[in-house]
Amino acid sequence: MKEFKMNIIVSFVIFLAVILILVFISINNKEEILKLNDIKVEQKSMQNIKQSEGVKITVLKEGNGEVVKSGDIVSVNYTGRLITGTVFDSNIDPEFGHVDPLIFVIGEGRVIEGWEIGIVGMKTGEKRVLEIAPEFAYGENEIGPIPSNSTLIFEVELLKIGQ
């Protein structure tokens, strides 16, 4: 009888040990899965943000088709803001007096350098936010409502590549 009780106790202890091991493994697996999910989310959000030479690029909407390169004629809609959020120009808001798409050649210097950097690589239909450091915008120059040494934020949509 004593041996029978001992066997029951040993069996119960082994059973509890197995349960505890399984619970521990399950908790560790859940933590690993959560860590992997966090890494995937971070990688997904980082793929839509690029930083290059004083221009931070955030892709709001992916485009498709060919990719803008230097020498291409592009047609864009845009809204420009100061870092404070104040809109200083837009070709989609009639308040600014021009509602036609802006058409220019990449690399000819008709737009600020930050645009040249930020628009190259876009695809038709793509929307980006370009955060442009002063040295790639107007620098120390005060231009209309834009104070000197201003970081500028542009929301740009690529409508078309070519004429």
Domain that holds residue 40: 1-47
Domain identity same for 109 and 61: yes
- pLDDT score for 8: 75
Claim to verify: residue 101 and residue 149 sit in the same structural domain: yes
Is there a single domain that holds both residue 61 and residue 113?
Answer: yes
Please report the pLDDT score of residue 11 as a whole number.
72
- Dist. CA 101–CA 88, nearest whole Å: 17
pLDDT of residue 48: 61
Asked if 78 is an active-site residue, the reply is yes
Tell me, yes or no, whether 91 and 149 share the same domain.
Answer: yes
Q: Does residue 136 carry a catalytic annotation? A: no
67 and 139, same domain (yes or no)? yes
To the query of whether residue 88 is one of the catalytic residues in this protein, the response is: yes
> Could you confirm whether 104 is annotated as catalytic?
no
Structural domain count of the chain: 2
- Residue 44, Cα to own-chain centre: how many angstroms? 9
Looking at the fold, whether 54 and 43 belong to one and the same domain comes out as no
Per-residue pLDDT of the chain (163 residues; tens, 9 = 90+): 667 677 777 776 777 666 767 666 666 555 555 554 444 444 444 456 666 779 999 999 999 989 999 999 999 999 999 999 999 999 999 999 998 999 999 999 999 999 999 999 999 999 999 999 999 999 999 999 999 999 999 999 999 999 7
Which residue among the candidates 57, 72, 119, 154 is catalytic per the annotation? Answer: 154
Q: Quick one: 14 and 75 in the same domain?
A: no
- Does the annotation mark 117 as catalytic? no
Q: Are residues 133 and 121 in the same domain?
A: yes
Query: Which position among 72, 89, 119, 146 bears the catalytic label?
Result: 89
Check whether residue 63 and residue 83 sit in a common domain. yes
The domain that holds 130 is classified in CATH as 3.10.50.40
- The pLDDT of residue 35 is 52
Q: Are 40 and 55 contained in the same domain?
A: no
Assess whether 41 and 55 both reside in one domain: no
Structure tokens at 72: 């291409």
Which of 47, 63, 82 is the last residue in one of the domains?
Answer: 47
Three-state secondary structure along the chain? CHHHHHHHHHHHHHHHHHHHHHHHHHHHHHHHHHHHHHHHHHHHHHHCEEEECCEEEEEEECCEEEECCCCCEEEEEEEEEECCCCEEEECCCHHHCCCCCEEEECCCCCCCHHHHHHHCCCEECCEEEEEECHHHCCCCCCECCECCCCCEEEEEEEEEECC
How high is the pLDDT of residue 60? Answer: 96
Residue among 57, 119, 136, 138 flagged as catalytic: 138
Residues 29 and 55 in one domain: no
